[in-house]
Chains A and B, each alone.
Chain A
Amino acid sequence: MELSDAAVVERVLAGDGDAYALLVSRYRDRYARFAMHMLGSREDAEEVLQDAFVRGYRSIARCEEPDKFGSWLMQILINRCRTAGGRRGRRERTFVHDEAAMLSAATNHPADQSAWREEIHRALEQVDPLQREAFLLKHVEDLSYEEIAELTGVGVSALKMRVKRACDRLRELLQEVYSVGA
């Protein structure tokens, strides 16, 4: 039977530090996806996620609800992404738009998943980071606004506005590509 998060946290606090590897493998994939979408770079995402896991381990005694370790860790990851995004975001967003690639993606049918996916990532890069964060938590991580508010400390109505603006921006950026295959 799989150990619950609370049971693993208890083992770590009792001195079995290696048990933390269970939590790393449990949350690694999902949280890596969030970090990659936030930062737009696999290398940066892995660095930030590693940092979040290590910080989580060092602070595990402060995890007041061990059965909600995942949410607690996500809170750390969101903050680390914000910090890293502020530091590196500008560099990330200065990538050169390859006109030929843009044209190619625009003329490809969205059924061409590779081009469609690439275009989504390109559009996501151009969404304001806080709006992108709210959009990902809502539509990709599938959290409720109340859960996102708890994680981010931002009010529900402000979050709804961020998500709406992110959606509007994505529609604006992807409309042409999407329409070709719609």
Chain B
Amino acid sequence: MSEHDDLMIARIARELRKPERIDPAFDGRVMAEIRASRFSGGQSAWQWLVRPRSVRVSPLGGFALAGAMAAALVLAVSQGENPPAPELGETTVAAATSTAAPGIGQTVQFVLRAPSASRVALVGDFNDWDDAATPLRPAAGGLWTVTIPLTAGRYTYTFVVDGEQWIADPAAPPAPPDDFGRPGSVVTIGGSAS
């Protein structure tokens, strides 16, 4: 690389270091969005959810968690239907093959097998990642289920077990890790499958 080249890069960098103009209302917009989420309770739920905690996992607990992950699944059913509980190990992702018309939406059943869990929550784009909004109910065979209405769209979600463990749904397409590398899954309702 010649001295001429070095000088050229230095001049480019110097130009790019100059400040850029930004909308004077920018700070106000950011804080307005933050205040809105705070007043809706989003912040406290988020802070509670993401607060670092010490987690101790026994070997038995580890096996139970692995079992839970292997059996996690999501089912989508047409509006108003209430299907029987899925068999263990079933890994159907019916959301991707639903025949519901795009835009109308449908009822989606999320199921996780987690026999050792004391509580399970569903968090995702549809509930502002609020782990208090959509708890799953325990069912036979260590299953936890919840059925929620979703309009057509693509949603990222994950399960939160005992308020500590984020578990992506192995039966659904994975979402790219979020800003902090936490796992997630994707469900698409109506339109094209993900």
Contacts and interface: CB of A to CB of B under 8 A. Distances in A.
A97 to B, nearest CB: 20
Interface stretch (B16-24, B71-79, B146-154): B16-24
25 contacts: A17-B34, A18-B35, A20-B31, A21-B30, A24-B27, A28-B22, A28-B26, A32-B22, A33-B16, A37-B16, A46-B22, A50-B29, A50-B30, A54-B33, A58-B37, A58-B47, A60-B47, A61-B46, A61-B50, A83-B176, A117-B15, A167-B9, A170-B8, A171-B5, A174-B12
Nearest to B180: A62
A124 B35 CA distance: 36
A54 B36 CA distance: 11
Given A25-B27, A80-B179, A136-B16, 11 more contacts: A13-B47, A17-B35, A33-B17, A42-B21, A42-B22, A50-B29, A54-B34, A59-B180, A60-B47, A64-B52, A113-B15
Interface residues of A, number: 49
Interface of B: 4-5, 8-9, 11-13, 15-23, 26-27, 29-31, 33-35, 37-38, 42-43, 46-47, 50-52, 176, 179-180
Given A117-B15, A120-B15, A170-B9, A18 B180 contact: no
A84 to B, nearest CB: 13
B179 A75 contact: yes
B27 A140 contact: no
Interface of A: 13, 17-18, 20-21, 24-25, 28-29, 32-33, 36-37, 42, 45-46, 49-50, 53-55, 57-62, 64, 75-76, 79-80, 83, 110, 113, 116-117, 120, 124, 136, 139-140, 167, 170-171, 174-175, 178, 182
Shortest beta-carbon contacts, A-B, top 3: A139-B13, A58-B46, A33-B20
A94 B5 CA distance: 29
A132 to B, nearest CB: 11
Contacts of B4: 182
B16 A140 contact: yes
Contacts of A140: 13, 16-17
Nearest to A78: B179
A141 to B, nearest CB: 9
A71 to B, nearest CB: 13
Nearest to A141: B17
A32 B30 contact: no
Contact of A29 (B22, B52, B176, B180): B22
Contacts of B9: 139, 167, 170-171
A29 B43 contact: no
A76 B181 CA distance: 11
A58 B47 CA distance: 7
Contacts of A113: 15
B22 A24 contact: no
Given A17-B34, A17-B43, A60-B47, A36 B12 contact: no
